[in-house]
Amino acid sequence: MSEIPILDRLRIQPLIDVAIEEDVGSGDVSSDWTVPAGRTARADLVAKGKGVLAGLPIVSWVFERIDPTIVVEVLAEEGRPVFPGDLIAEVRGPARGLLTGERTALNFLQRLSGVATATSRFVESVEGTGARILDTRKTLPGWRLLDKYSVRVGGGTNHRMGLFDMVLLKENHIEAADGIGPAVFAARRAMTSTRREVKVEVEVTDLTQLEEAIMAGVDWVMLDNMDVSTMAQAVRQVHHHGDPRPWVEASGNVSLRSVREIAETGVDFISVGSLTHSVSALDVSMLFK
């Protein structure tokens, strides 16, 4: 298993605060009006499905924000697989607080674990090929840091975080800038004038565009929606130019059924939007003892 990244609580706390505010609002009337004020309780977080855990620290942060006297004892490990019936954590403290924080804590844990689980399946599918699985910017608005964190927990690799840390010239950029060559030249000129250097990637849809991108001296090429035969030819074309060569990324409607065949063409990276844009949450329940 690769090294688990570290979550920055200072950057996550505002998301926790917003989530609690939208859920609790003026108060949890279900719990506050029915559960005795002094009642304490213990509850187990239990996996109901098979997957990879991500977001365990956030469970503790959510309950701490609800009531600092709540104790969360994590019994599983971030990035490790779980199976139905596995005990993930035990939560102890005021019963009202446990009930109030339950849904928010599970929302974070279930989605993040869902992303990590989906990523791990793609990573396993390309094992031994040398290809790495990339995420995209198709993330839940406001949750990009968390979505990309979960991809790494699942064994994947982060692509650019946003529009600021890499030049990625897609079809519309190329059209608006009058072609691949002029677009790349303009990006390089801007880097010189601003004294700020980032990688330049160009999306190509055929071998002619690929040659233009290589000749323009890009750092990455993205093979967009190519069939595997053309993709393999594109990889050979890139390697024919020798080193240093651009990294080769495959993109477009990648699924678990197709990813292995794509990886075997020799691409360096495969980007998968579904890791974050249509993730299925890992089923986890909180059960009072």
Catalytic positions: 103, 138, 170, 203, 224
Q: Are 260 and 280 contacting, i.e. CB atoms less than 8 angstroms apart?
A: no
Rounded distance between C-alpha atoms, residue 248 and residue 250, angstroms: 7
b or e along 156-170 (b: 16 or more beta carbons within 10 Å of the residue's beta carbon)? bbebbeeeeeebbbe
Amino acid at the residue 6: I
Rounded distance between C-alpha atoms, residue 73 and residue 16, angstroms: 19
Tokens at residue 19, please? 């989530």
Which helix (H) or strand (E) segment is 52 a member of? strand 51-52
Tokens at residue 253, please? 């409607």
Q: How far, rounded to the nearest angstrom, does the alpha carbon of residue 266 sit from its chain's CA centroid?
A: 23
Rounded distance between C-alpha atoms, residue 257 and residue 269, angstroms: 17
Tokens at residue 138, please? 């198709």
Rounded distance between C-alpha atoms, residue 150 and residue 12, angstroms: 13
Rounded distance between C-alpha atoms, residue 262 and residue 228, angstroms: 6
